[in-house]
């Protein structure tokens, strides 16, 4: 494992759950962490714990994402790792953000797409790794229809979530295809069933499951859930992991949503996402 040189690691969704656990583990290993969260108090608290800077942004507002990108760009001369980890299953009804996009799509896919795009020059200059916290939900519930990205026709919290997590995988494929020959690497992973606040903002059955005593017995700790993110963040792609791939349980996943293998869909999703978030 290459842990010799400290890295500058930006983690979104680092105010809680998997992201906060990853921030603690990577800081203990000597890396500099940019702690990005939504709640100002929780984000500042984790940043104090890990001795890092904190940045607050609500991904339901793309103006916040643009401000965040500027703040990160100003704060660091390079960014070695961008972990797009913020997200989750949301709501019960279909809700639009101030930007007019379905909320689950925006928080889980459009916001990290925009953040990565805005930081792209710095990420390329840093030969960075860009890591997406996806989910097995991509295979279980995801179905991407580029003519109905906002799920006007088939909204359920699970369909919207699974599709957004499928978009994380397709985004990873396309990041790799476009930029790996310029030194940028990308991976996506399912963290396992992890005992966090996951589902707390949803009417999904995940909410009672994750908060129940049985749930807490079968779910793994946030530290275990963060293990793959920690590995991608402090090791070299090529040697330790394969850029462009989606991982489950520490290995390249064999069973995936068939749409996750569609390279043309990945290209078209990129173009459509760029249109939706506007100029970089
Ligand atoms: N837990 C699981 O079993 C599981 C399984 C598969 C995939 N995942 C994925 O793992 C990632 C981390 O989730 P978690 O399990 O650690 O859940 P969590 O404890 O609820 O943490 C979610 C993180 O995302 C942030 N966040 C949520 N909505 C946001 C918004 N609108 N704008 C900006 N930040 C926002 C939260 O910020 P605040 O706390 O500051 O509000 C928090 O830091 C998610 O992408 C989730 O989909 C989790």
Ligand 1, pocket-test mutation among 196, 218, 228, most atoms within 8 A of CB: 196
- Looking from the CA of residue 89, the nearest atom of ligand 1 is 47
Q: How far apart are CA 185 and CA 172, in angstroms?
A: 9
Ligand 1 — pocket residues by CB below 6 A?
13, 15-19, 37-39, 42-43, 57-60, 85-88, 107, 133, 135, 190-191, 193-194, 196-198
End-to-end Cα, the chain, rounded Å: 35
- Looking from the CA of residue 13, the nearest atom of ligand 1 is 43
The domain segmentation of the chain, as residue ranges, is 8-191+222-277
Residue 279: predicted pLDDT: 79
Q: How far apart are CA 216 and CA 212, in angstroms?
A: 6
Q: How far apart are CA 237 and CA 247, in angstroms?
A: 13
161 catalytic per annotation: yes
C-alpha 53 – ligand 1 centre gap (Å): 19
pLDDT mean values, one per 10 residues, the chain (280 residues): 76 98 98 98 98 98 98 98 97 91 98 98 98 98 97 94 98 98 98 93 85 89 98 95 98 97 98 93
CATH of domain 8-191+222-277: 3.40.50.720
77-98: buried (b, 16+ CB within 10 Å) or exposed (e) per residue?
eebbbbbbbbbbbbbeebeebe
Residue 201: predicted pLDDT: 86
C-alpha 36 – ligand 1 centre gap (Å): 11
C-alpha 227 – ligand 1 centre gap (Å): 16
C-alpha 213 – ligand 1 centre gap (Å): 20
Parallel, antiparallel or unpaired: strands 81-84 and 251-252: unpaired
109 token code pair: 């896919």
How many other β-carbons are positioned within 10 Å of the β-carbon of residue 212?
Answer: 12
* Residue of 76, 161, 210, 246 marked catalytic: 161
- Looking from the CA of residue 103, the nearest atom of ligand 1 is 31
Residue 1: predicted pLDDT: 41
Residue 205: predicted pLDDT: 83
- Looking from the CA of residue 58, the nearest atom of ligand 1 is 32
Residue 4: predicted pLDDT: 55
């Amino acid at each position: 494992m290459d842990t010799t040189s400290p890295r500058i690691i930006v983690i979104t969704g680092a105010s809680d759950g998997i992201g906060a656990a990853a921030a603690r583990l990577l800081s203990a290993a000597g890396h500099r962490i940019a702690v990005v969260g939504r709640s100002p108090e929780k984000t500042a608290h984790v940043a104090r714990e890990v001795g890092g800077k904190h940045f607050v942004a609500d991904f339901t507002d793309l103006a916040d994402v643009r401000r965040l990108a500027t703040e990160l760009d100003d704060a660091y001369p390079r960014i070695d790792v961008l972990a797009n980890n913020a997200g989750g299953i949301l709501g019960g009804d279909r809700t639009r953000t101030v930007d007019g996009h379905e909320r689950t799509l925006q928080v889980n896919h459009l916001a990290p797409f925009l953040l990565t795009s805005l930081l792209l020059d710095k990420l390329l200059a840093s030969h960075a790794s860009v890591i997406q916290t996806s989910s097995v939900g991509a295979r279980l519930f995801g179905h991407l229809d580029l003519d109905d990205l906002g799920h006007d026709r088939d909204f359920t919290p699970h369909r919207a979530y699974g599709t957004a997590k499928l978009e994380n995988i397709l985004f990873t494929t396309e990041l790799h295809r476009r930029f790996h020959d310029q030194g940028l690497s990308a991976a996506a992973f399912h963290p396992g069933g992890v005992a966090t606040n996951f589902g707390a903002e949803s009417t999904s059955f995940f909410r009672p499951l994750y908060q129940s005593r049985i749930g807490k017995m079968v779910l793994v700790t946030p530290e275990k859930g963060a293990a793959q993110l920690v590995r991608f963040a402090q090791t070299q792609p090529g040697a330790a992991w394969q850029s462009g791939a989606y991982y489950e349980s520490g290995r390249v996943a064999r069973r995936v949503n068939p749409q996750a293998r569609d390279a043309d869909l990945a290209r078209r999703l990129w173009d459509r996402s760029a249109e939706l978030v506007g100029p970089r």
